[in-house]
C-alpha cells in the first residue's frame, strides 16, 4: 500500500515572522575559507581587491544575510589589531587553533568590504580567550564609533571614513571546550562575558550580543553551562549560541536522517534553560537563540590529522558532501524554520571551502556542493511567516530513535508576495510518499513549481567538473479545490512553490 502523509496549512496558524538571519553563514580564518576561498589575488576572477568574483556570485545565489567572522576557534587567539592598517606591515602569526600561519592579509576592514559585496551583515566575534574587555571595547569603537576618538580616527586613517555599523557581536567562541585557547569555566566565562558586554554597549548601545552556549549538546557541562552563563549575562545579552555538527559515522541512513530530531531536542532544551533563568530572575526580557554553527562535519576529520602544521591556508575541513548529507541539511533547515519564534540567528558553518556549500580550486573553478541546494532554496523561498502545520505522517524506528516521521516538512507564507512555499523531505529509504496538503484557506493559489533533489546513489557528490547532484523542477505537485497533492520520491528534498493567481 502506498505510504501517505497529510498536512493542513492555515494562514493564521503562525509560528512567527522569520528573522532572515536564520539563513546566515560563517567565514573563519581557517583552511582555505579566506585565503583561496573568498580572497585570492592573482586569480583570473579576482577583483582589484583580490576578492574572487566567482565566489561572490555563488554567495549571492545563497542570499546569505549575515556572516559570522573571524571565528570560530581562531578568534580565541586573534589580535584584531594585526589585521588593520597597511598590509605590508601586518604580522605573520603562528595560528594555534588550527596550527597554521596567519598572514593577516584580510582583516576587519577587508571583511566588511567583502560582506557589502555579497549584501550581508557581519556578525563580529571578539576574542575572550587570550584577550578580553579592553580589546573588545576597542574593536567596537574601531568599527562603530563615527569619529573623534583614538580608534575611530585610526579607522578613518585606514581609509574608512564611515563606521561599519556592525550590529551583531559574538562574545567569544565555544569557551566551554578544553580545545579552546583560553578555555574557561562557566563562572569565569559568565563573568567576563557580562563585563565585556557591558562596556561594549557603553561604546555603542545599539549593538546586540550573543553569549556562548555549549559547544555541542553532549558536552558534559551542557545545561549547567547555559544556566550559569545566563545567570551572569542575562541583562546584557540578546542571544545564547548553540553549535552542533552531525555525521553518518555508522553508515545508517535511516538513523542519520533522524538526527534533526536531536537538533530539535537541543533547541527545545536551550529554550527551557533560557526561560528557567528568566523565571528565576523574574525578568520580563526573553533571551533568543543563535544557532551560529550547524552543519554536517565528519568526512574530513581523519584525513586532517595528517596535515603538516604551520602551512599557509592548507586544505582543512574540506568535507566533500554527498547526496544524503544534503537530505540531512534539508531536515535541519526545516527544524530551524519550525523554531522561528525563538531562533533568530543561525549560521551554516561554514560558507567557502571549510565544511562548506561552496568550494574552490586554487587558481581554478568555484563549484556547488550537494548541500548548496537545500540551503539556497530555504534562504531564497523561506522568507516570511513560518506557519504551524498540522502534519500526520507514517513513522519508523531507527537505531537511536523511535517514531521518526517519514515526512519532515514545514511551510513559509510570504504575505507581501502572496506566495506559499512548502519544504519537505521524504526520509523513506524504499518508497515514495504520497503527500496531501490542505490549503483551502489560501484561496486562488496555484502551483508555480515543484523542485526536487533526488539521486539513486546516496554517496554521490559533486566536483569542480561534474554536478550530478542538482535539483530539477519536474516534481508532480498539483492543486485541485485547495488540496495539493504530490509524490515525494524516496529519499528526496522537495520545494513546492505556490502563489495566488493574479
Ligand atoms: O567550524 C569549525 C569549528 O567548529 C569552529 O572553529 C569551532 O567553533 C567549532 O568547533
Q: What is the DSSP string of 347-367?
A: EEE-SBSSS-SEEE-TTS-EE
Residue 123: strand pairing partners? 68, 168
CA-nearest residue for atom 8, ligand 1, is: 72
Does residue 292's CB lie within 6 angstroms of at least one atom of ligand 1? no
- Percent of the chain at pLDDT exceeding 70: 100
Please state, as a whole number, how many other Cβ atoms lie within 10 Å of the Cβ of residue 70: 27
Q: Is 270 helix (H, G, I), strand (E, B) or coil?
A: helix
Ligand 1: atom nearest CA of 174 is 8
Pocket of ligand 1, candidates 125, 243, 246, 357: which has the most ligand atoms within 8 Å of its Cβ, to mutate? 243
83 Cβ closer than 6 Å to some ligand 1 atom? no
d(CA 188, CA 134): 16
3-state SS assignment for residue 335: helix
Task: Using the atom order of ligand 1, give the atom closest to the CA of residue 177.
Answer: 10
Whether 174 is catalytic = yes
Which atom, in ligand 1's list, is nearest to the CA of 215? 10
Q: Which residues of 19-55 are buried (b: 16+ CB within 10 A; e: fewer)?
A: bbbbbbbbbbbbbbbbbbbbbbeebebbeeebbbebb
171 vs 290: CA distance, rounded Å: 12
Give the atom of ligand 1 at the shortest distance from the alpha carbon of 355.
1
- Does ligand 1 have an atom closer than 6 angstroms to the CB of 73? yes
Residue 273 sits at φ, ψ, to 5 deg, of -65, -45
- Pairing type for strands 93-95 and 100-102 reads antiparallel
Kindly report the protein residue whose alpha carbon is nearest to atom 4 of ligand 1. 72
Q: Of ligand 1's atoms, which has the minimum distance to the CA of residue 98?
A: 6
pLDDT at 1 (0 to 100):
80
Whole-number Å distance, alpha carbon 8 to ligand 1 midpoint, is 39
Q: At what angle do helices 372-381 and 53-62 cross, to 10 degrees?
A: 60
Q: Please pick, among 293, 408, 454, 499, the residue that the annotation labels catalytic.
A: 293
Please answer whether residues 211 and 219 qualify as being in contact, where contact means their C-beta atoms are separated by less than 8 angstroms: no
DSSP 39: B
Q: Which residues contact 238 (CB under 8 A, 6 or more apart)?
A: 208, 209, 210, 287, 288
218, three cell numbers = 553532549
User: What is the pLDDT, as a whole number, of residue 191?
Assistant: 98
Indicate yes or no: pTM above 0.95. Answer: yes
Q: Which of 174, 324, 408, 499 is catalytic?
A: 174
pLDDT at position 502, please? 86
Which of 28, 295, 317 to mutate to test ligand 1, by most ligand atoms within 8 A of the CB atom? Answer: 28
Q: In what order do the strands lie in the sheet with 93-95?
A: 93-95, 100-102, 311-312
Compute the distance from residue 184 Cα to the ligand 1 centre, in Å.
17
In this structure, is the dihedral angle defined by the CA atoms of residues 229, 125, 207 and 216, taken in order, positive or negative?
negative
User: Does residue 495 line the site of ligand 1, with CB under 6 A?
Assistant: no
Instruction: Output DSSP code: residue 494.
Output: E
Q: List 445's β-bridge partners, or say none.
A: 500
DSSP letter at 46 equals: B
Which of 218, 318, 349, 351 has most ligand 1 atoms within 8 Å of CB, for mutation? 349
The residue whose C-alpha atom lies closest to atom 5 belonging to ligand 1 is 72
**8 Å CB contact between 229 and 175:** no
For the chain, list residues with pLDDT below 50. Answer: none
Amino acid at each position: 500500500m502506498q505510504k501517505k502523509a497529510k498536512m493542513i496549512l492555515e494562514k493564521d496558524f503562525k509560528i512567527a515572522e522569520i528573522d532572515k538571519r536564520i539563513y546566515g553563514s560563517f567565514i573563519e580564518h581557517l583552511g582555505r575559507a579566506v585565503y583561496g576561498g573568498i580572497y585570492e589575488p592573482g586569480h583570473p576572477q579576482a577583483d582589484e581587491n583580490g576578492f574572487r568574483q566567482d565566489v561572490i556570485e555563488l554567495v549571492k545565489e545563497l542570499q546569505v544575510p549575515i556572516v559570522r567572522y573571524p571565528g570560530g576557534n581562531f578568534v580565541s587567539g586573534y589580535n584584531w589589531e594585526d589585521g588593520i592598517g597597511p598590509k605590508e606591515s601586518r604580522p605573520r602569526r603562528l595560528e594555534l587553533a588550527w596550527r597554521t600561519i596567519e598572514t593577516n592579509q584580510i582583516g576587519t576592514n577587508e571583511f566588511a568590504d567583502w560582506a557589502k559585496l555579497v549584501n550581508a551583515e557581519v556578525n563580529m566575534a571578539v576574542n575572550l580567550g587570550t584577550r578580553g574587555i579592553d580589546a573588545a571595547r576597542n574593536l567596537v569603537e574601531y568599527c562603530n564609533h563615527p569619529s573623534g576618538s583614538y580608534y575611530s580616527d585610526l579607522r578613518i586613517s585606514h581609509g574608512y571614513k564611515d563606521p561599519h555599523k556592525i550590529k551583531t557581536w559574538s562574545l567569544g567562541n565555544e569557551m566551554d571546550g578544553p580545545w579552546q585557547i583560553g578555555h574557561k569555566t562557566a563562572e569565569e566565562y559568565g563573568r567576563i562575558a557580562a563585563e565585556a558586554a557591558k562596556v561594549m554597549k557603553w561604546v555603542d548601545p545599539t549593538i546586540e550580543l550573543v553569549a556562548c552556549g555549549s559547544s555541542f549538546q553532549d558536552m558534559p557541562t551542557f545545561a549547567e553551562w547555559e544556566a550559569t552563563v545566563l545567570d551572569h549575562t542575562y541583562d546584557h545579552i540578546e542571544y545564547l549560541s548553540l553549535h552542533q555538527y552531525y555525521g553518518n559515522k555508522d553508515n545508517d541512513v535511516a538513523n542519520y536522517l533522524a538526527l534533526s530530531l536531536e537538533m530539535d531536542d537541543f533547541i527545545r532544551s536551550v529554550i527551557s534553560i533560557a526561560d528557567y533563568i528568566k523565571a528565576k530572575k523574574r525578568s520580563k526580557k526573553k533571551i533568543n537563540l543563535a544557532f551560529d554553527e550547524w552543519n554536517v562535519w565528519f568526512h574530513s576529520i581523519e584525513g586532517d590529522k595528517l596535515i603538516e602544521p604551520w602551512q599557509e591556508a592548507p586544505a582543512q575541513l574540506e568535507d566533500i558532501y554527498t547526496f544524503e548529507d544534503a537530505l540531512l541539511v534539508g531536515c535541519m533547515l526545516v527544524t530551524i524554520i519550525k523554531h522561528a519564534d525563538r531562533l533568530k540567528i543561525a549560521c551554516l558553518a561554514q560558507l567557502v571551502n571549510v565544511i562548506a556549500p561552496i568550494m574552490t580550486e586554487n587558481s581554478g573553478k568555484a563549484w556547488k556542493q550537494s548541500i548548496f541546494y537545500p540551503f539556497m532554496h530555504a534562504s531564497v523561498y523561506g522568507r516570511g511567516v513560518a506557519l504551524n502545520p498540522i502534519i500526520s505522517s507514517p513513522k519508523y524506528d531507527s537505531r537511536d530513535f523511535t517514531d521518526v516521521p517519514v515526512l519532515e516538512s514545514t511551510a513559509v507564507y510570504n504575505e507581501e508576495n502572496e506566495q506559499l512555499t512548502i519544504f519537505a523531505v521524504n526520509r523513506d529509504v524504499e518508497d515514495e510518499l504520497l503527500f496531501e496538503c490542505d490549503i483551502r484557506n489560501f484561496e486562488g493559489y496555484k502551483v508555480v513549481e515543484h523542485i526536487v533533489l533526488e539521486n539513486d546513489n546516496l554517496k554521490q557528490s559533486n566536483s569542480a567538473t561534474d554536478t550530478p547532484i542538482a535539483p530539477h523542477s519536474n516534481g508532480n505537485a498539483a492543486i485541485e479545490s485547495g488540496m495539493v497533492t504530490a509524490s515525494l520520491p524516496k529519499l528526496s528534498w522537495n520545494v513546492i512553490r505556490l502563489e495566488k493567481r493574479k
